[in-house]
A and B are shown apart, each in its own frame.
Chain A
Amino acid sequence: MSAANATATPATSPAPAVTRRRKSKLGWNVLGLLVVLTAGFPVYWMINTAFKPAKDAIDPDPHFFPSTFTLENFKRALDIADFWGPVLRSLTVSLVVVVIGIAVGLLAALAISRFSFRGRKAVIVGILAVQMVPLVAMIIPVFLLLNDLGQYDRLSGLIITYLTFILPFTVWTLRGFIVNIPKELEEAAMVDGCTRTGAFVRVVFPLLAPGMVATSVYAFIQAWNEYLYALMLMSQQNQTATVWLSNFITKNGTEYAPMMAGSTMMAVPIVILFLLVQRKMAAGLTAGAVKG
């Protein structure tokens, strides 16, 4: 509580203030490390379990550090069911969804952020509202729809359904990035003789590119992580990566050590991608939030 105080109290002589600040920081740091330990433990335990022999994992005295480092669990995870098939399918679905979502979403985002027209507000409200519909509530009609269209168990069907949550997301996020680019830049380009399209391509697009990359990566992660639709709309033979993980749960129990190895394989690339774009996304999501 007094940590912030210390900097703001010029009355005390500098030397004690510094020690006091250090001392009070110490308490907060300990608390902070406690947060790190608690919040980080599940991730640590996943990696720890993945790299130690399966028999160590079921030792009644848990091994907090792998005494023997092994890749056996990863081998088992790759063996238990086809791994690369699901990964390839997830990759295909996610990439196609992102490409469509960004292309279509960018046009729509431009419309609602750079044009004033009748019904603009209605469109914004609609896109916001649509994001709020829980996916689970939609699974029954979506399942029946794909069944009717003959798209059950097809990647194309899954792609169509993923657009339900990816598209509103890309529109809204890209809109956020676009409104942060000053209109004056575009106008200046147009004064200098650019057409409106030219001004967009030469001025706005380069500024928007980082935001577009971040949005794409984030949308990719969302599509990759989706579980319910993947479970319901694809058969066992055509399962995607998230559903693949449940292969470790059998009637005879769960093979936890290989499951953690599988989890590690699935999570690490995603978490790294996420780390790369997270800062940009958080800034985009909250831009202007305090001003309200």
Chain B
Amino acid sequence: MSAADTTTAKVPPVRQSPPSGSTAGGPGKPGKKSDGGAGVPWLLLAPCLLVLLLVLGYPLARLVILSFQNFGQPQLWGFQEAEWAGFDNFTKILGDGEFWTVVLRTVLFAAGAVIVTMVAGMMIALLLQRVSGWVKTLINIVLVASWGMPIIVATAIFKWLFDADYGVLNWLLSRIPGVDMIGHNWFASGPQGLAVIMLLVVWGAVPFVVITLSAGLTQVPKELEEAARLDGAGAWGVFRFVTLPILKPIIVMLTTLSVIWDMGVFPQVYVMRNGHPEPEFQLLTTYSFDRAFVVNDYGTGSAIALVTVLLLLGVVAVYMRQMLKIGDVE
């Protein structure tokens, strides 16, 4: 099945298939269905590629162009042509101390969310293997319910849970002897507020991780675990030297996906702060949004968005390699 991949992989990608290509396409494995010629797949792909080109290709190109332009309200209303700014937008943001604070905050936020999600997800997945059937069912129901919860609804719920005056969480924490949290405003300080938002992100992200890891755990051969145990490995040893290496492809995939998702957190912060995140709540996404739609400096906003995408590129590369490896097997 992977023959098709290996034979085509070395060939430089072409947009249109040359009509004579079907005769030259001889190296394709004999017996492989190649009826219909090379035009058929491209015909099937055409609508998809066209739509993507319009809705993604064009805006992406526009994003790059915008980041090199001065584009404000007059340009938006068409009173003035956009003018080229060279690297001005980039030098402006890169020389801005606030930008770097935001970058650092975003990276810390995403790293925290990813680590907590992965660790909690792994622990729950391992726990699922050990509990009785009915507890397993209960956990699964709860996980799927929180997974399917619309982000916006989840944000509303967390806002209510952590409300300073009537939030149930402050009341619950105050039950602990010696703790008085009644009236505590979680959003008075940036780090605390972002911790709450991180919890919200983790709550929504853990189910996917647990369910994917659980599926992976069922494929860990029991014999390997037993063999390790006979060789004197403890529970940790079995996990570290048997389970973890086997799950590695899944873990890499989940971690990279989580990084990408958690770097792109937007509605949670935006709604939690009633549409106006304070400076100490700004992440790269809200910061870019703020520059563009609040300050009306679309050029700088685009530059920030572009930098965010570039920051993610490395992570995306790892993810793609993993996905392609998996794809090759099929």
In the bound complex, residues from chain B placing their C-beta under 8 Å from that of A221 are 148
CB distance B139 to A161 under 8 Å?
no
Binding site for B on A (CB under 8 A): 1, 3-5, 8, 25, 28-29, 31-33, 35-36, 39-40, 42-43, 45-46, 49, 57-62, 100, 104-105, 107-108, 110-112, 115-125, 127-130, 132-145, 147, 160-161, 163-164, 167-168, 171, 179, 183, 187, 196, 221, 224-225, 227-228, 232, 242, 245-246, 248-249, 254, 256, 259-260, 263, 266-267, 270-271, 273-275, 278, 282-283, 285-286, 288-292
CB distance B148 to A274 under 8 Å?
yes
Given A116-B32, A224-B150, A107 contacting B45 (CB threshold 8 A): yes
Question: CA of A46 to CA of B150 in the docked complex: distance in angstroms?
Answer: 13
User: Which B residue's beta carbon lies closest to that of A134?
Assistant: B264
CB distance B267 to A271 under 8 Å?
no
CB distance B329 to A118 under 8 Å?
no
Given A167-B51, A246-B271, A134 contacting B263 (CB threshold 8 A): yes
In the bound complex, residues from chain B placing their C-beta under 8 Å from that of A171 are 48
Secondary structure type dominating chain B contacts: helix
The residue among B49, B216, B322 with the most chain A CB atoms within 10 A of its own CB is B49
Question: CA of A123 to CA of B45 in the docked complex: distance in angstroms?
Answer: 9
Question: CA of A179 to CA of B4 in the docked complex: distance in angstroms?
Answer: 13
CB distance B13 to A228 under 8 Å?
no
In the bound complex, residues from chain A placing their C-beta under 8 Å from that of B293 are 143, 232
Q: What total of A-B pairs shows CB separation below 8 Å?
A: 335
The residue among A100, A118, A266 with the most chain B CB atoms within 10 A of its own CB is A118
Q: Mark B17-33, 1 if CB is under 8 A from A, else 0.
A: 10001000100100011
Given A32-B135, A35-B127, A107 contacting B47 (CB threshold 8 A): yes
Binding site for A on B (CB under 8 A): 1, 3-5, 7-9, 11, 13-15, 17, 21, 25, 28, 32-36, 38, 40-42, 44-45, 47-49, 51-52, 54-56, 58-60, 62-63, 66, 76, 124, 127-132, 135-136, 138-139, 141-154, 156-161, 163, 165-166, 168, 171, 182, 203, 206, 211-212, 215-216, 219, 222, 225-226, 229, 234-235, 246-247, 249-250, 253, 260, 263-264, 266-267, 270-271, 274-275, 285, 288-289, 292-293, 298, 301-302, 305-306, 308-309, 312, 316, 319-320, 322-330
Question: CA of A282 to CA of B168 in the docked complex: distance in angstroms?
Answer: 34
